[in-house]
Each structure stands twice: as structure tokens, then as C-alpha cells.
Amino acid sequence: MNMIHENMTRGLTRKGWAEARHTFSFGTFLDPTRMGFARLRVLNEDWIIPGAGFAPHDHADMDILTLVLSGRIRHEDSLGNRVELSPGEVQLMRAGSGITHSEVNASEEEVAHVLQIWLIPDRRGGAPGYQSTPLAPGLLAGPEGPLTLGSNSTVTYLLPKEGEETPIEVTPGRAVFVQILDGFALIDGERVTAGDGLQISTTPPGLHWQSDAAALIFDMPA
């Protein structure tokens, strides 16, 4: 079944230092019908106030992508990495058998706006790792890079122009998810806009872009 996760139907968490929108169940937001899709387990859009962030905490058996949409993020982890990411950069932390990390707004003046994505790898355990790369149109992450995922999944970044069409094809045994980051489009007569997600199990008509836009396409084992 194909489904549109509308921006304003996402879960909402507000804390003193952050606001987050959750496409799938996360933290105190629990929706039994939204427990992830294929290998995609978490898709959070976060706004973090200056100087604040996620204190050191542990992860295992998950591939975690962070896209910086605006502001700056400081990443530190138990592998010894200490990195500042600016808009247009993305990192992959493969948690493997276990890793401790923190993600903090590196600015004392500007809100940080990030997209946080968790993908389930094929196998549990393994050595943890860290990579980062500029955010550029084309393949962003996959089993052979540029950012190396632990599953036969791919993440593609699109910057379509107004009037273009993006075909969506779902091959047997696969599933596709599209996250609209900016702009808006029509698909099968429905309007989708920034913050919306498209959960796709059967091939639909293509996306007809009504403005310049940005989007992510996840192609994953079903």
C-alpha cells in the first residue's frame, strides 16, 4: 500500500532546547501504524537552539545519517571523531556493536536544523565507523558508498527544477520512500510539499515538480 505521511500529521516533540517532527514512532510519540518502513526506522526533523544538543548517548546495530539543513552541528564520538558540519554536509555513523556520541549545535547564535535518519543494517554487530561528505545531487549512500551503508539500500539526493518529472519505480522485493525537503510536487493528483513523505510499495505515476525543490529517495529491501 502506498501512503502519504503529511507534514502536520507527524509526531511532535517539544523540549526546552529542541523541537522535533517524527515521521515514524520515536521517543514519546508512539503510533502502532508508524513503526518504520522497510529498512527505514527513524526519520526525524530537528530544530536545536544555540549551544544545546544531544548529550553523549549510546547506539548499536543502526546506520544513522544526519543532514545539516541550516546552522552547524558538532559531532563527537567514542572513536575519537570531533567534527563540525555546516549546511550542505551529511554524516553517516555506523553504530555496529556499539558507539557513544553527542550531537550539539555548534553556534551560540543560530538554530540548527537537521534531518536525522536511522536505517537498519543487514547484520548485527561489526565495527562501528564514521564518514562525512558534501551533500550533492546523486547517490548519497549505499552498500558501496559514497557513504557506505550496512544494507542493500540506497539514498539519493535530488534537486529537481520546476516542470521536471521524477519517475518512481519499485522493483520486486524492494520498497521506496521519498522525503520532500523543499518545494512541492504532484503525484497521482495529490499535492506533496516540504516535510511530507511518500511510502511506496507499488509503482505510482512520477512526481511532477511544481517548483524548484529538494528531496531524498530511499530504495530498500522490502
pLDDT tens by residue, 163-221: 999 999 999 999 999 999 999 999 988 999 999 999 999 988 899 999 999 999 999 99
pTM of the model: 0.96
- Cell matching residue 12: 511532535
User: What residues does each domain of the chain span?
Assistant: 3-221
3-class state of residue 222 by DSSP: coil
What is the pairing mode between strands 63-70 and 89-94? antiparallel
- Cell matching residue 183: 518545494
* Full DSSP string of 129-167: EEEEEE--SEEEEETTSSEE-SSS-EEEEE-PPTT-EE-
Nearest CA-CA partner of 18 in 173, 26, 150, 203? 26
The number of C-alpha atoms within 13 Å of 43 and in the hemisphere containing its C-beta is 26
Question: Does 1 have pLDDT greater than 80?
Answer: no
63, 119 in Cβ contact below 8 A? yes
In percent, how much of the chain has pLDDT > 90?
95
147, 141 in Cβ contact below 8 A? yes
CA–CA distance, 34 with 25 (Å, rounded to integer) = 6
pLDDT in tens, 25-48: 999 999 999 999 999 999 999 999
Give residue 204's pLDDT.
83
Instruction: Enumerate long-range contacts of 6-14, CB under 8 Å, 24 or more apart.
Output: 6/195, 6/196, 7/193, 7/194, 7/195, 7/196, 8/195, 10/45, 10/195
Give residue 51's pLDDT.
95
Best CATH choice for the domain 3-221 from the list 2.60.120.10, 2.120.10.70, 3.40.50.200, 3.40.50.300: 2.60.120.10
Backbone angles phi, psi at 79, to 5 degrees: -85, -5
